[in-house]
Amino acid sequence: MRSTHAVEDFILSGWLPPEPFISPETKVTAFGSCFAGHISNYLNERSYTILTKSDANAYVVEMGEGIVNSYAVRQQFDWAFRGLTPTTELWHGYTAESHGYDEAVRQTTLKLFEQTEVFILTLDSPKCGATNRPEKCSGAPCHSRSSIPNGTHFA
């Protein structure tokens, strides 16, 4: 017979914090790959405070599980906190529509980030098209086969 605590006793022993570091009251923002979406759903169903499950007008809320690489994640932080706007059109929705760089969305994203106590950021493989240049990278809809207007295809 297997112990019901086998994972905790033999795999996680020594790696777990002494007590959970988030509670249902902790303000959590989760975005990145589709795994962030699954984590958000799991915690939300258990009454945790998931800011990216709100109706806030922010790209990390609207399509947070499509911001899948480290460049796109950093762009959200640079845009929100530093006001750095990419010089080319990079952010697209699930049907390849351009999101642009609306100042009201940036301000909402900034407020959401400033309220956050714990960020859960998950990554997928980089999807930088044929350019392989970080400044040209953006998030793409998770597991989609759409293409963005400049012809860069995402798998």
In-domain check, residue 97: yes
- Asked whether residue 13 is assigned to any structural domain, the reply reads no
Q: Is residue 44 part of a domain?
A: yes
The SS3 assignment for 22 reads coil
Give 59-109 pLDDT, tens digit per residue: 999 888 888 888 889 999 999 999 999 888 888 877 888 888 999 999 999
* Residue numbers of the domain that contains 34: 27-136
Helices (H), 15-102: 34-45, 59-62, 70-77
What digits encode the pLDDT tens for the residues 41-53? 999 999 999 999 9
Q: What is the pLDDT of residue 125?
A: 62
Name the pTM for this structure: 0.74
* 68 falls within a domain: yes
- Domain assignment of residue 48, yes or no: yes
121 found inside a domain: yes
Task: Find, among 101, 77, 79, the residue nearest to 91 by Cα.
Answer: 101
Q: What is the pLDDT of residue 154?
A: 36
- Lowest mean pLDDT, pick from 59-68, 106-115, 124-133, 139-148: 139-148
Q: Total domain count for the chain?
A: 1
Residue 45, phi then psi, degrees to nearest 5: -65, -20
Residue 123 counted as domain residue: yes
In a domain, 120, yes or no: yes
